[in-house]
């Protein structure tokens, strides 16, 4: 087969879930609605956390970073998928594919590490409340966020450069919603077994330690929660922790499916469905999961919206 990416003149064809769905118009409408929900909910949560002084604490600082990552992650993938379907144009340039993969890997990797830091934040708040403001001082919070972004960027850069250096065959169709490593490697005209093993090892290295840290943190948290004398404090802690664990389950479920399970365990169609889940559904639901049962966030949202609505009405 002829190689085509040596001159970078050709592009890929993204054959995503919209092209293989039995009701593509309905699915496109659902994806558009979920994307709008992700923009509005994450945008509102960021606005509330930034403008309300009562939420200027480590827990909500990290939550704001999660909302920012979700907002960027879904924006890297969803608008292009919807526009391509509406315009009947599914191509993406070689450079565009590399950029999309790079950004998706950065945001996914950063969110993976951030969720672990958020679990640590909850562990300190519940198990060591007297040391909370010392262990979670602003410098420590910024260090956590910077670590997430830097490590994810380095990993993403290495994987993007190595994946895109391979010779690709004339069969340019990527049977996936976005440019990701596993579906791209299926188009390579070379032996990728060693690199696939490296991707697996890196996936395990990134995902499993973070997940193990989160689960161990919440095991210790549960022991502390059940020994709390106050029912109100116990209820508040359980609500906060259950919200975080729900988000963790959704994120790590999709990431593990794509990067840890061997490719023989899942089909391209299943990969397409999972990709919709972690690039569109999860970013739309995360802010709702965190805020709907959180009295502090809902109270801050009412104050911020009430202030803006009142100021708008007073101008007329």
Residue 144, C-beta contacts closer than 8 angstroms, at least 6 positions apart:
62, 114, 117
Q: What pLDDT does residue 171 have? A: 65
Query: Could you identify the residue written with the tokens 């191509």?
Result: 91
Helices within the chain (DSSP H only): 17-20, 24-51, 58-87, 94-127, 132-135, 138-164, 181-185, 193-225, 231-259, 268-276, 282-291, 295-314
The model carries a pTM of 0.88
Name the CA radius of gyration of the chain, rounded: 21
- Asked if residues 105 and 156 have their Cβ atoms less than 8 Å apart, the reply is yes
- Asked if residues 106 and 156 have their Cβ atoms less than 8 Å apart, the reply is yes
11-314 CATH fold = Rhopdopsin 7-helix transmembrane proteins (1.20.1070)
Q: How far apart are the first and last CA of the chain?
A: 69
Which tokens go with 309? 């609505």
Give the burial string for 259-269 (b: 16+ CB within 10 Å, else e). bbeeeeeeebe
CA–CA distance, 294 with 138 (Å, rounded to integer)? 23
Query: Could you identify the residue written with the tokens 């960021």?
Result: 46
Query: Could you identify the residue written with the tokens 């909500």?
Result: 60
Query: What are φ and ψ of residue 224, in 5° steps?
Result: -70, -40
Give me the average pLDDT of each 10-residue run along the chain (316 residues). 50 80 84 95 93 91 95 95 87 92 94 94 91 94 97 94 86 84 88 87 86 91 80 74 84 82 73 86 90 83 74 51
Q: For 174-223, how does the pLDDT look when each residue is reduced to its tens digit (9 = 90+)?
A: 888 889 988 898 888 888 889 988 888 888 888 889 989 999 998 898 88
CB-CB neighbours of 46 under 10 Å: 18
Give the burial string for 56-77 (b: 16+ CB within 10 Å, else e). ebbbbbbbbbbbbbbbbbbbbb
CA–CA distance, 287 with 45 (Å, rounded to integer)? 7
Which tokens go with 246? 């729900």
Cα angle: 219, vertex 225, 228; to 5 degrees = 150
In the chain, domain spans: 11-314
CA–CA distance, 191 with 197 (Å, rounded to integer)? 12
Cα angle: 32, vertex 177, 101; to 5 degrees = 110
Which tokens go with 19? 């092209």
């Amino acid at each position: 087969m002829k190689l085509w990416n040596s001159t970078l003149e050709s592009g890929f064809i993204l054959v995503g879930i919209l092209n293989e769905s039995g009701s593509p118009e309905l699915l496109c409408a659902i994806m558009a609605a979920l994307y709008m929900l992700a923009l509005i909910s994450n945008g509102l949560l960021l606005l509330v956390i930034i403008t309300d002084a009562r939420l200027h604490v480590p827990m909500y600082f990290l939550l704001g970073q999660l909302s920012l990552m979700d907002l960027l992650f879904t924006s890297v993938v969803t608008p292009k998928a919807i526009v391509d379907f509406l315009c009947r144009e599914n191509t993406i340039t070689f450079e565009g594919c590399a950029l999309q993969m790079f950004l998706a890997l950065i945001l996914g990797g950063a969110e993976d590490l951030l969720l672990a830091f958020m679990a640590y934040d909850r562990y300190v708040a519940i198990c060591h409340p007297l040391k909370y403001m010392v262990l979670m001082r602003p410098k420590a919070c910024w260090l956590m966020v910077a670590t997430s972004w830097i490590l994810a960027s380095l990993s993403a850069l290495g994987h993007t450069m190595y994946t895109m250096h391979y010779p690709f065959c004339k069969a340019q169709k990527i049977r996936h919603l976005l440019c990701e490593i596993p579906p791209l490697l299926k188009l390579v005209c070379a032996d990728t077994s060693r690199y696939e093993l490296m991707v697996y090892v890196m996936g395990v290295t990134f995902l499993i330690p973070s997940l193990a840290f989160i689960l161990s943190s919440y095991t210790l948290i549960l022991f502390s929660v059940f020994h709390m004398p106050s029912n109100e404090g116990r209820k508040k802690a359980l609500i906060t922790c259950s919200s975080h664990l729900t988000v963790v389950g959704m994120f790590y479920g999709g990431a593990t499916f794509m990067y840890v399970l061997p490719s023989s365990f899942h089909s391209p169609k299943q990969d397409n469905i999972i990709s919709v889940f972690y690039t569109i559904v999860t970013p739309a639901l995360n802010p709702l999961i965190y805020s709907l049962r959180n009295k502090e966030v809902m109270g801050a949202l009412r104050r911020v919206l009430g202030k803006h609505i009142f100021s708008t009405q007073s101008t007329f």
